[in-house]
Amino acid sequence: MPDPTTLALFSAATLAILLVPGPAVAFIVTRSVAQGRTAGLVSVLGVHAGSAVHVVAATLGISAVLAASATAFTIVKYAGVAYLVWLGLRRLLARPAAEDAAEPPVRSKRRTFWEGAVVNVLNPKTAIFFLAFLPHFTDPAAGPIAPQMLVLGLVWITLGIASDGAYALLSSALATRVRRTARARRRIDVGSGLVYLGLAAWLTAQKA
């Protein structure tokens, strides 16, 4: 179990990383703007369910295999690219909402959750990040490494939900003011699709 000083240092380092918007925040903000507060918050939970998968994979050494194998890295990367492209095209080709619709159409919370999870799980850079980041805050003298990494991962996920949840709430509140007409909502859909395609392009450029 990490000592309190280590946990404090880890929490500070985690917050410094989380508060800088990255691909996950871009995904969450885009979902919040396009589909509202609930979709944004459910996406946050989905993204960090994906984080939990990466934490467990790093603890069990699975992420080390991904980091060491260019083939495995490439397979996961392009699976993530294909998924983001699919999400982007779906938003670009979405049927415009009715003019008198005050809110975005209600979507399946389960699907929204799993889309966030899959996007994060299929980002090999996230897997390698946890593999590199968590061990720096472990201490063999404090006991087995695996339980320490799991505790640190839980702290990361807790802080991540709080940080990304704030982004979701803020972006959805601001978007409510501009989502008043069908034309505005269509522009948001197009913008969302382009963001997903941009994330796909970003992921394509990543190297192990």
If pLDDT is split at 50, 70 and 90, which confidence band does 23 have? Answer: confident
Average pLDDT rounded to a whole number, residues 188-206: 79
> How many whole angstroms separate alpha carbon 120 and alpha carbon 35?
19
> How many whole angstroms separate alpha carbon 173 and alpha carbon 40?
11
Query: What share of residues in the chain are helix, strand, coil (percent, to 5)?
Result: 80, 0, 20
Residue 18 lies in a domain: no
Choice between 129 and 3, residue whose per-residue pLDDT is larger: 129
Average pLDDT rounded to a whole number, residues 117-132: 88
The single residue listed with the structure tokens 């934490």 is 55
Q: Mean pLDDT across the chain, nearest whole number?
A: 83
Contacts for 100 with CB less than 8 Å, ≥ 6 apart? none
If pLDDT is split at 50, 70 and 90, which confidence band does 181 have? Answer: low
Dihedral angle sign, alpha carbons of residues 160, 13, 120, 104: positive
Cβ atoms 157, 111 nearer than 8 A: no
Residue 190 lies in a domain: yes
Question: How many structural domains comprise the chain?
Answer: 1
| CB atoms near residue 174 (< 10 Å) | 13
Residue 75 lies in a domain: yes
Q: Which residue, among 192, 201, 206, has the nearest Cα to 28 in the 3D structure?
A: 192
- C-alpha 132: how far from chain center: 18
Residue 7 lies in a domain: no
Tokens found for residue 30: 């885009």
Give residue 180's pLDDT: 64
Residue 2 lies in a domain: no
Digit-coded pLDDT (tens) for 48-97? 999 999 999 988 888 777 777 778 788 888 888 888 888 878 878 877 65
Tokens found for residue 64: 């080390």
> How many whole angstroms separate alpha carbon 180 and alpha carbon 50?
33
181 phi and psi, to 5 degrees?
-125, 160
Cβ atoms 176, 35 nearer than 8 A: no
Q: What's the burial of 119, exposed, middle or buried (CB within 10 Å: 0-12/13-18/19+)?
A: buried
> How many whole angstroms separate alpha carbon 198 and alpha carbon 205?
11
Residue 3 lies in a domain: no
Residue 9 lies in a domain: no
Digit-coded pLDDT (tens) for 103-122? 555 568 889 999 999 999 99
Domain containing residue 198: 24-205
Give residue 49's pLDDT: 95
- pTM: predicted TM-score of the whole model, two decimal places: 0.83
DSSP 21: -
Residue 16 lies in a domain: no
